[in-house]
Structure 1
Amino acid sequence: MSIRATVIAVLVALITALSFGVYYYHDKYSEAELDLTLAKQIITDMQTRQRDVAALDAKYTGELADAKSKLADLQRCVAAGKCGLRVNVIKQTTSTPSLDDATSARLSDTAERDYFTLRERIETITKQLTGLQQYVREQCLK
């Protein structure tokens, strides 16, 4: 009977060891499956964000190109003499009015060029800043 008891004890020990192994590896598999599910969710979220950022970039790049195009059209119109830039001038003089005072004020070529450069830079920074603000609101603050 002692051999039978020994065999039963060995079989119980073997079944216990196998059960422990099965449960151990089942837990590891469950953890890996959870990690994989989480990784898939993160990848999906990242892809969605990348699409959103690409759409946002395309929108503001298009708006900036449109603004630059309009400014270039205005600059060509002024250069061709079809359009003019309106200048408000307050002339302070102590002399008496003469014939020279009858001409309208006009920007010098350098001032006109500087005006268009400044307008282009203002448009550029405005579009960039607006795009960055929307990016922060839509992507960073989520």
Structure 2
Amino acid sequence: MTISPFKAALLGMLIAALVPVYWFIRVVDQRDDALEGLRGLNTEVVGLRHAARISGEMLAERDAIDQRNTKELIDARTENERLRRAVGDGTGRLYVSATCPASGSVSATAGTAGTARVADAGRAELAADARPDYFTLRDQLTQSRQMIVGLQQYVRGVCQRSPAHQDTTFPNLNERTTP
């Protein structure tokens, strides 16, 4: 069986026409895959930009909380130091809120059972050697308070805004198991 030259030419032209169609279809498929990959990357870029914006806002909030609490702590320590100097140089006094019970007061006449009483000599004042401890404790209390307030503000302003917190990082945290 022999093929006529016309049929062979027609078959050759058909094969020659089908090869570019095959490559065209393959290039179109590759283009579609690339476009789909590009759409996925664009979605990822949008997500990353959003995450970066949120992270920037959280960092700014953290810095604002830190600056505000640091300023309040410095102001409180400055006031405490001013009070310490005033007590130290005698321009101020450190008073203790104290009362003396009536049963412990001294009577006006030592041997008589009269009702007249001697008035208290004055307000109770902290002993001189205890004053530095008072101001040290006051400094420590101020620092502790500012640390607690700052941490509370950080939790409310930063941690509770984070996406990880919204996804319940510790789902079993509030559950109690009984044996």
* TM-score range normalised by the length of the shorter chain: 0.7 to 0.9
- Is residue 108 of structure 1 aligned with residue 127 of structure 2? yes
The one-letter amino acid paired with 1:10 is V
- Is residue 73 of structure 1 aligned with residue 92 of structure 2? no
- Normalising by structure 2, we get a TM-score of 0.69
The one-letter amino acid paired with 2:137 is L
Residues 29-54 of structure 1 show CA distances to partners (whole Å, capped at 9, x for unaligned) of: 22122222221221122112211211
- Normalising by structure 1, we get a TM-score of 0.85
2:143 aligns to what? 124
Identical aligned residues as a percent: 24
Task: State how 1:1-142 maps to structure 2 within 5 Å.
Answer: 1-87=10-96, 88=98, 90=100, 102=121, 105-142=124-161
Q: 1:66 to 1:34 in 2, by over 3 A?
A: same
Higher relative contact order (CA 8 A, sep 6+): 1
Aligned residues: 141
- The runs of 5 or more residues in structure 2 that have no matched partner are 1-9, 111-117, 162-179
Q: Write out the 4+ residue segments of structure 1 that deviate beyond 3 Å after TM superposition.
A: 89-99, 101-106
Q: Which has the larger radius of gyration?
A: 2
User: Contact 2:87 / 2:94 at 8 angstroms: preserved in 1?
Assistant: yes
Q: Distance in 2 between matches of 1:103 and 1:39?
A: 70
Q: Distance in 1 between matches of 2:20 and 2:123?
A: 111
Name which of structure 1's ranges 82-91 and 46-55 shifts more when overlaid on structure 2: 82-91
Give the alignment's Cα RMSD to 1 decimal.
Answer: 2.3
Query: Residue 15 of structure 1: CA displacement?
Result: 1.3
- The runs of 5 or more residues in structure 1 that have no matched partner are none
Query: Residue 17 of structure 1: CA displacement?
Result: 0.7
User: Contact 2:73 / 2:142 at 8 angstroms: preserved in 1?
Assistant: yes
Name which of structure 1's ranges 55-64 and 85-94 shifts more when overlaid on structure 2: 85-94
What SS does the aligned partner of 1:141 have?
Answer: helix
Q: 1:49 to 1:94 in 2, by over 3 A?
A: closer
Name which of structure 1's ranges 113-122 and 75-84 shifts more when overlaid on structure 2: 75-84
Q: Distance in 2 between matches of 1:48 and 1:60?
A: 18
